[in-house]
Chains A and B, each alone.
Chain A
Amino acid sequence: MPLTLVLICAGSLANATCYADYKAKQDDPLRLQYGVAQITGEDCSVEQAANELSPKLASDGWTLLNVLGVFDESGLEERKESAGDNYLRY
């Protein structure tokens, strides 16, 4: 029993380290956004990231264009500068 608890904890810990970078836009006038976001879902995939990010972005008036990829903490630093204000915003 304790073993399964540890496994679950380990699993959730592994999920917490999932990040995705994405591209979004706003119309009239056209505005573009590149950002990095943390993915909280079960599996760390592009589809999961898109499903999670779409409603979050839409609530602020942004339309998700595409998710470039998913990565863990090791990929955060190199994208921090590019993402600017949108670094881990969502």
Chain B
Amino acid sequence: MPETTTSAIEARQTGTRVVTFGISAIVAILLAAAIALFLNLPDANAFNERVEQLFVANNDLTTQAELKLLEILAQSGTAFSDTLSSYRFVIFVLLVFSTALLVAAVSFLVMLVLLNRRMGQIERKGIEVNSLLISRDQKTVYLNNFEFKLTDAAIETLSVLAEARMDDEVLSGAEIEGVISGRHASDCDEAAGATRIKRLRDSLGNQMISELLVKNIARKGYMLAIDKDVIRMV
């Protein structure tokens, strides 16, 4: 069975395309409808022209009374033209409304599809860290309100990583060791930092959660794989 993969960016691009295409199609269709409607609506002269046709076509219509009658007929038609112009305005307003509604409908539809895809991705990903609460005195870390007990050293490592994450910094193993031990990073061993990370991961217990939280960037160092806005310290 072939694996179907979708990324959020890809979905968003497709969504933007669909929205652009959909909205332009709606606007084009309704614009065409409006133009056709406005062009085909009869104006006041339609009545006059019809009366004129009658007058020309019938050679018998020559007496004064008949002429007066035809003129009155044309005038009553012209009076109706005011009603027609108000109809025109109402139709225009309705067309604008329907355009707005259809545009909104298309946008919401695409938004719904995108949200569904995003939900699917979140479900596949298993866990997304929305909050990380480090409690030093209780030696506890709360991930999405899941409570994890950690050793002093692991809490220390996590705190260092959290602080670095808030500053958008990536720490190497040596730098982590340096911050914790209070020595200069050049005097520290890269392996010591790596050990601390390993212990942190181990003590967090769940390998999957650890991998999600503590990211290892090749040849650079370690970093928390969470949004820095969600980190709080107490």
A binding-site residues for B, Cβ under 8 Å: 21, 23, 25, 27, 29-34, 65-66, 68, 79, 81-84
Contact = CB atoms under 8 A, between A and B. Distances in A.
B56 A30 contact: no
Interface string B29-70: 000000000000000000010011001100100111001001
B71 interface: yes
Name the residue in A21, A34, A81 with the highest tally of chain B Cβ atoms < 10 Å from its Cβ.
A34
A30 B71 contact: yes
Contacts of B62: 21, 23, 34, 68, 79, 82-83
Given A29-B75, A30-B75, A32-B67, A23 B48 contact: no
B140 interface: no
B214 to A, nearest CB: 85
Interface of B: 48, 51-52, 55-56, 59, 62-64, 67, 70-71, 74-75, 78
Contacts of B52: 25, 30, 32, 65
Contact of A68 (B59, B67, B74, B78): B59
24 contacts: A21-B62, A23-B55, A23-B62, A25-B52, A27-B48, A29-B71, A29-B75, A30-B48, A30-B52, A30-B71, A30-B78, A31-B71, A32-B52, A32-B55, A32-B71, A33-B67, A34-B62, A34-B63, A65-B56, A66-B56, A68-B59, A82-B62, A83-B62, A84-B64
Given A29-B71, A30-B75, A65 B64 contact: no
Nearest to A84: B64
A36 to B, nearest CB: 10
A66 to B, nearest CB: 6
Contact of B67 (A29, A34, A65, A81): A34
A2 B43 CA distance: 64
A82 B48 contact: no
A81 B66 CA distance: 13
B56 to A, nearest CB: 5
A25 B55 contact: yes
Contacts of A21: 62
A68 B58 CA distance: 10
Nearest to A35: B62
A35 B155 CA distance: 112
